Amino acid sequence: MLGATMGGNIIRGRVWQRLGVLVAVLIPVVFVIALLARDVDGFAFTPRWSAVFAAWALLTITLVLDMLVRLQADESVEKTVRAAAPQVEAARNAAGDIADAARAGGGAAATDADAQAASKVAVSATAEQAAAQVRARRAGMKSLVIGSDGRASTSKVQAVLWTYAVLFTLVYMSVLGRRLFGGLDTPGVRRYGDAMKEFLDAGFRPEYIALLGLPIAGAVAAKGIISGKVANEQIVKTPDTSEPGVGRGLAELVSGDKGQADLLDFQYAAFNLVTLMYFFIIFATTSAIEPSKGLPTIPATLLSLAGVSTLAYLAKKQLETGLAPVVTSVTPMRVRLGTDREILITGEGFHAQGRAATTFNQVLLDGRPLPVREWAPTSVTAVLPTNVDRKALEALGWKANPAAEIIVRDDTGSGSPAVKIDVQLP
């Protein structure tokens, strides 16, 4: 269901993206036609029109580049996501049928070799679907702010925001006071002269080396730290296959991989956002009106807060560890409550540090913990309710669910990516 929903969202996203490019390209054409139709003698870029033009130019460039990147590198992403969902469903159904055959032959579905092999194929197909969904979320220009795990990257977003802020000021100054196809003498425009030259002659303020360099260095350093930890098997970055959206992306900026709010992520995002707001306020009230003032002066206090939060964020990344469990098979993939006695889960990392199982180790089936008969670093045998009828199971809260999720938690509470199985009642 999620794959089909996400596939539909991708298609709708591509339609809106192409429509946005078309509208952005048509806007200047319509604008020029409107001026000609009104027989206006030229047009001048006042501060207000310069701001509108700068915003339109950056939006248009972003949309066009997004479309080009998708066409060149992500042309097949929609097809891959659409094809993944039925492949996963077919693999799960095949594994369930084999488990049914094992029961019919008088054997235990959890220990049947063919059922275990089919389960590995189904779980592998699920992992491939997750990878396709992550690639879809990072398609086009979205990869500038979305990390390799499919989550919004706090460090990447800061670098992109400051890049666009400086680009906006440069585009604004490049057109301020200019005139188009005519000699319209707009009051107050002549005084700007060559705004771009005056703006650049004001000199470069050294604090922008930190403002631009810190977010970019933070993004590069964070990428290097996490990539090294993943390569050295110090950390596992499980792909995020949740429903994408702006709201979820904003939440990910201030939260960790487990979805909980993170203080250092919040500080990093908040202090940079306040500094960015100050930048635009001073630009709008000073630099945009008097180009000779140059880039806005950033107070040392804001600069220090942004720098300290960046260093704290990187320190957190350096200290971050977490080998979450990884499930490779669940047997049987079609569970019959009241009949099947146990369920066998294989994988890796079921003990975070190789310790014995503790009360924090859990197997959750549709959010309900199951008793565990045997717990090892690479396999878990969970006990299912048996010798009970449908009415008794329903009284206990069990429900038939063809897409029930099973999750394994290690002794630190870290959970594996969910694996969907078919749960049936008698």
Residue with tokens 């449908």: 390
Ranges for all domains in the chain classified under CATH 2.60.40.10: 326-424
Q: Which of 158, 197, 163, 181 is nearest to 58 (CA)?
A: 163
Is 326 in contact with 349 (CB distance < 8 Å)?
A: yes
Is 380 in contact with 338 (CB distance < 8 Å)?
A: no
- Return per-residue pLDDT of the chain as tens, 426 residues: 444 454 555 555 566 666 777 777 777 777 766 666 665 566 778 888 889 899 999 988 888 888 888 777 666 777 777 778 888 888 888 888 888 888 888 777 878 888 888 888 888 888 888 878 888 888 788 888 888 777 888 888 888 898 899 999 999 998 888 877 655 566 666 666 788 888 888 877 787 777 777 777 766 776 676 666 555 555 555 666 566 677 778 888 888 766 678 888 888 888 889 999 999 999 999 888 888 888 888 888 888 888 888 778 777 777 666 567 888 888 998 888 888 888 999 888 777 655 556 667 888 888 888 888 888 888 888 888 887 788 888 887 888 888 888 988 887 777 788 888 888 888
**Burial grade of 9 (CB within 10 A; 0-12, 13-18, 19 or more):** middle
Give the whole-angstrom CA distance, residue 99 versus residue 329.
13
For the domain 326-424, what is the CATH superfamily, name and number? Immunoglobulins (2.60.40.10)
Single pTM value for the model:
0.74
Q: Which of 343, 346, 351 is nearest to 329 (CA)?
A: 346
* Paired strand residues for 363: 408
Strands 419-424 and 334-336: parallel
Helices 154-175, 263-282: inter-axial angle, 10-degree rounding: 10
Residue 269's SS3 state is: helix
